[in-house]
Amino acid sequence: MSATGRAFASRHLLGIEGLGADELVLLLDLGERFLELGERPIKKVPTLRGRTVINLFLEASTRTRTSFEIAAKRLSADAVNVSGSGSSTSKGESLLDTARNLVAMRPDVVVLRHQASGAAEFVARHVDAAVVNAGDGTHEHPTQALLDASTIRHHKGSIAGLEIAIVGDIEHSRVARSNLYALTRLGANVRLCAPFTMMPQGIESLAGDHRRQVSTHARLESALEGADVVMMLRIQRERMGDGPARFPTNREYSRHFGLSPRTVAFAKPDAILMHPGPINRGVEMDPTIADGPRSVVLEQVTRGVAIRMAVLYVLGTGGAVPSEFGSA
Ligand code: CP
């Protein structure tokens, strides 16, 4: 496999915040090429043969963990999965000791999911392997934002100029933060919508120079009016602790902030409807919407494998970008 000359400069993928539009587009373009590989009868290339990827998932996951494992295997890397309940973290071993011991086995890439914001950056500072953030607390989930951008770009041709509504538990959502960085850098206008109890004050400032592309909405109707893309978020009860409830009941939440046949009518007729999963059906999304013709929820998952292949590829090979793929 030869390289095109485009290169990914970062040693780790800890978040979208540190990436420029060029790096985002590079990963999206590369993901598009790996997507094609997933349609072949033999879904494997020898690109990362001999490399080792450790998936260290210390917080629950279905989509991200599985797709990183499939992505590594499709690139012919050796993939090893470590989960919280089956590891010595359940005996009290610290994150740093766990990471140092795993890195002593000389993996090339460590993919980390952890409940603490900043965990991936902390590990990256202390180990000699490329680190990928697979979701850290309420901070970032960069590969989710990349697969979301990939899905949007596929359906809309370009991200620049789109009106994108992100609706739900903004306060606890690493998906919302990573998407805020990615989508504004790629030129979209982002409308954030949540009950005021789940909308952090001043969140627009996260977009930095792009903050004028961000608006906040306390009413779903105004966020959805004329939107090209509607991205619903999961209510993250596991991050709310024992504090006061953020909304009276699921029924109330659903009536005011859920995507239903009534509320979806405010968006453009060709708006695509997204959710990172897992969905609280009937709360964030009516099942007829989640399973309906404009839902791209499962396409997001398919693209997740291709995007994670792109990320493992650039980090596992030191940043080179392939011009063509061989076969295994
Ligand atoms: N979207 C997402 O991160 O899903 P999982 O928690 O199942 O990985």
Beta 78-83 vs 52-57: how paired, if at all? Answer: parallel
Interior/surface letters 227-253, b for 16+ CB within 10 angstroms, e for the rest: bbbbbbbbbbeeeeeeeeebbeeeeeb
Indicate the range of 26-35, 100-109, 245-254 predicted with least confidence.
245-254
Q: How far is the CA of 121 from the centre of ligand 1 (A)?
A: 20
- Inter-axis angle of helices 174-185 and 142-156, nearest 10: 50
User: Which pTM does this prediction carry?
Assistant: 0.94
| C-beta 300 within 6 A of ligand 1 | no
Among 55, 58, 59, 61, say which to mutate for ligand 1: greatest number of ligand atoms within 8 Å of CB: 61
Ligand 1 pocket, mutate which of 55, 56, 59, 63 (most atoms under 8 A from CB): 63
Q: Is 86 helix (H, G, I), strand (E, B) or coil?
A: coil
Residue 181's nearest CA partner among 135, 152, 222, 149 is 149
Indicate if ligand 1 lies below 6 Å from the C-beta of 173: no
Q: End-to-end CA distance of the chain, in Å?
A: 12
Region of 190 (left: φ > 0; alpha: ψ -120 to 50; beta: rest) is beta
142 lines ligand 1 (CB under 6 A): no
Q: Determine the Cα–Cα distance for residues 204 and 48; give it in Å rounded to an integer.
A: 39
- In sequence order, the β-bridge partners of residue 80 are 54
> Which of 210, 134, 221, 158 has the alpha carbon at shortest distance from 25?
158
pLDDT > 70 in the chain, percent: 96
CA separation, residue 165 to residues 39, 75, 217, 227, 313 (Å): 31, 34, 9, 6, 31
Question: What fold is seen in the domain 142-301?
Answer: Rossmann fold (3.40.50)
Ligand 1 atom closest to the CA of 60, numbered from 1: 6
For the chain, the maximum distance between any two Cα atoms, rounded to a whole number of angstroms, is 57
pLDDT the model gives residue 7? 75
Ligand 1 within 6 A of CB of 135: yes
- Ligand 1 atom having least distance to the Cα of 277: 1
Indicate which residue's Cα is closest to atom 4 of ligand 1.
63
What residue owns the CA closest to ligand 1's atom 5?
A: 61
Instruction: Give the H or E element holding residue 78.
Output: strand 78-83
Residue of higher predicted confidence among 164 and 325: 164
Domain boundaries in the chain?
A: 21-140+304-316, 142-301
Q: What is the pLDDT of residue 4?
A: 54
For ligand 1, atom 6, name the residue with the nearest CA: 61
Q: Which of 57, 64, 66, 140 to mutate to test the pocket of ligand 1 (most atoms within 8 A of CB)?
A: 64
Q: Can you spell out the DSSP letters for 119-140?
A: HHHHHHHH-SSEEEEEEETTTB
Task: Name the packing angle between helices 142-156 and 21-37 (round to 10°).
Answer: 80
Beta bridge partners, 164, equal 190, 229
Q: Is the pLDDT of residue 107 over 70?
A: yes
* pLDDT tens per residue, range 113-137: 999 999 999 999 999 999 999 999 9
pLDDT for 73 beyond 70 = yes
CATH 3.40.50.1370 correct for 21-140+304-316: yes
Model confidence over 231-253: pLDDT tens digits? 999 998 788 877 777 887 889 99
Cis before 195? omega within 30: no
What ligand 1 atom has the least distance to the C-alpha of 66? 8
Q: Are 280 and 235 in contact (CB under 8 A)?
A: yes
Ligand 1 atom with least separation from CA of 59 = 6
Could you read off the pLDDT of 155-208 as tens digits, one per residue?
999 999 999 999 999 999 999 999 999 999 999 999 999 999 999 999 999 999
Q: Which among 93, 63, 90, 69 has a CA at the least distance from the CA of 81?
A: 69
In short, whether 304's Cβ falls inside 6 Å of ligand 1 is no
Distance of CA 49 to the CA centre of its chain: 26
If residue 167 lies in a helix (H) or strand (E), which one and from where to where?
A: strand 163-167
Q: Is the pLDDT of residue 109 over 90?
A: yes
CA atoms of 44 and 41, how far apart (whole Å): 9
- d(CA 224, CA 1) in angstroms, rounded, equals 45
By alpha-carbon position, which residue is closest to atom 1 of ligand 1? 276
Cβ neighbours of residue 293 under 8 Å, at least 6 residues apart? none
Beta strands 214-217 and 130-136 are: unpaired
- Asked if residue 64 has its Cβ within 6 Å of ligand 1, the reply is yes
